[in-house]
Structure 1
Amino acid sequence: MHFAQLPTVDAAAVPSDGFLLDVREDDEWAAGHAEGALHLPMGQVVLRLDELTEAVADGRQVHVVCRVGGRSAQVAQYLIAQGLDAVNVEGGMLGWEAAGRPLVSESGDQPFVL
């Protein structure tokens, strides 16, 4: 599959009850992320695929997000190849923040996209 054919969704269009998979690194996650998202750094996706598959066993669509959309596009492509219903969140967490979607941080400090 070529990235041009990869299903994408605008950050503003991700359902509030949608399943969001954040594939950024630990420091990026700690600085600011969407509440309720599952954090699974890109390098751990293959190793932890069973955990992810179990989390969406109800057939929910996986909205994959990173900072701007590059890493998440690769992960979404991989997940689709594994038979999951995955879409790339266009614009990543920067798009999420720009759309006015809420962020939380691990530290309790003002969340931001790193």
Structure 2
Amino acid sequence: MPQNVPTVSVSDLSADAVLLDVREQDEWDAGHAPSAVHLPMGELAARLDDVPAGAALNVICRSGGRSARVTEYLNANGRDAVNVDGGMQSWAAAGRPVVSASGADPQVI
């Protein structure tokens, strides 16, 4: 995991925080934060223009490893990004809302 990446805990995220979910499609489909923007890590370089501009980005994955690397990349490319510590596992454990793409019971995979 990259060193010196800015992080934020789930409990410190505001209700209107911009979430960028960098997990794979199957992970997203199984369960994600309702207001998150989905952009898989593997597509980031090619789709950098699709990253929401303006507000600080809170980058999230399953546990925080991939999102730390994406946070480092975004910050190196002039974006304001922080890593969500513990990822979607911490998000769900904190009782934050999780929805699935199919409408089935959501789960973090």
Match of 2:70, SS state, is helix
| 2:70 is the counterpart of 1:71 | no
Aligned letter for 1:89? V
What CA deviation, in whole Å up to 9, does each residue of 1:90-113 have, x standing for no partner?
000001011111001011111110
Q: Alpha-carbon deviation of 1:51? A: 1.4
Q: Which stretches in structure 1 are left out of the alignment for 5+ residues?
A: none
| 2:99 is the counterpart of 1:100 | no
Aligned letter for 2:46? L
Task: Give structure 1 regions of 4+ aligned residues with deviation exceeding 4 angstroms.
Answer: none
Hey, what's the Cα distance between the residues in 2 that align with 1:14 and 1:42?
A: 21
| 2:55 is the counterpart of 1:60 | yes
Percent identity, please: 55
Match of 2:92, SS state, is helix
Hey, what's the Cα distance between the residues in 2 that align with 1:63 and 1:32?
A: 17
Aligned letter for 2:59? V
Q: Alpha-carbon deviation of 1:3? A: 2.9
- The normalised TM-score by structure 1 is 0.92
More helix by share: 1
What CA deviation, in whole Å up to 9, does each residue of 1:6-64 have, x standing for no partner?
10000122211111000000000000000010000000011100111xx22xx200000
Match of 1:3, SS state, is coil
- The normalised TM-score by structure 2 is 0.96
Task: Describe how 1:84-95 pairs up with structure 2 within 5 A.
Answer: 84-95=79-90
| Count of aligned pairs | 109
Residue 46 of structure 1: aligned partner: 45
Match of 1:5, SS state, is coil
CA RMSD, 1 decimal: 1.1
